[in-house]
Amino acid sequence: MTIKDVTDRRPVIFCGKVELDGQQFYSMIVHNGNEIVDELFKKYIDTVEVLRTLSEVTETYGRYSSELLELHTDMLDVTKFALQMPGLHVRPLRRKELEPFINRTLQTWGDTIRELHEVEKPVELSKWRKWLINALIKLINKLDKKGDKLQ
């Protein structure tokens, strides 16, 4: 499925949860025709927060469209509540169907999102540094078992 296949019919909101460097976020991407109209990326707190944002998005973009908005999401709890919202056609997606849309946002805005939400990139140590750290930890543990005091 491509963006063009989905968005030719009506305005579409893609909504999904994603993990970025160990922290949970959710993304909402609004498409109209072949263009991205809006991209939201917020820290995931709970489903209520996601629904509040979804309500604001549908209210804002529903004004400018004569057609129903379409929601594509892999979040089951959001799907359950969104089915009760007027003016919104809901289509549940599997995670792998939603990933291309969210990954595009992460590639474009990943560094900015990390900076805004103060998410630190995990530092990847080289093999020799990992080996040295493990060797030092083993040495410390051996010395500690013998009762020697480290200065």
141 within a domain of the structure (yes/no): no
Of the candidates 51, 67, 92, the one whose C-alpha atom is nearest the C-alpha of residue 11 is: 67
142 within a domain of the structure (yes/no): no
Could you give the CA distance from residue 101 to residue 21 in angstroms, rounded to a whole number? 18
65 within a domain of the structure (yes/no): yes
**Both structure tokens of 103:** 């990954």
Could you give the CA distance from residue 89 to residue 79 in angstroms, rounded to a whole number? 10
79 within a domain of the structure (yes/no): yes
139 within a domain of the structure (yes/no): no
pLDDT of the chain, 151 residues: tens digit per residue: 554 555 456 788 888 888 877 888 888 888 887 788 888 888 888 989 998 998 888 888 777 666 778 888 888 888 888 888 887 888 887 877 777 777 777 777 777 777 777 777 667 888 998 899 999 999 988 888 766 555 5
122 within a domain of the structure (yes/no): no
| Per-residue CA distances from 98 to 29, 44, 88, 120 (Å) | 11, 17, 18, 25
106 within a domain of the structure (yes/no): yes
Please give the tally of structural domains in the chain: 1
Domain that holds residue 31: 3-116
Model-level pTM greater than 0.85?
no
**Both structure tokens of 122:** 């995990």
DSSP, collapsed to helix, strand or coil, labels residue 15 as: strand
**DSSP sequence for 50-85:** HHHHHHHHHHHHHTT-SSPEEEEE--HHHHHHHTTS
**Both structure tokens of 111:** 């560094």
73 within a domain of the structure (yes/no): yes
| Per-residue CA distances from 36 to 48, 70, 104, 121, 142 (Å) | 25, 14, 11, 27, 59
Q: What is the CATH number of the domain that holds 110?
A: 3.30.420.10
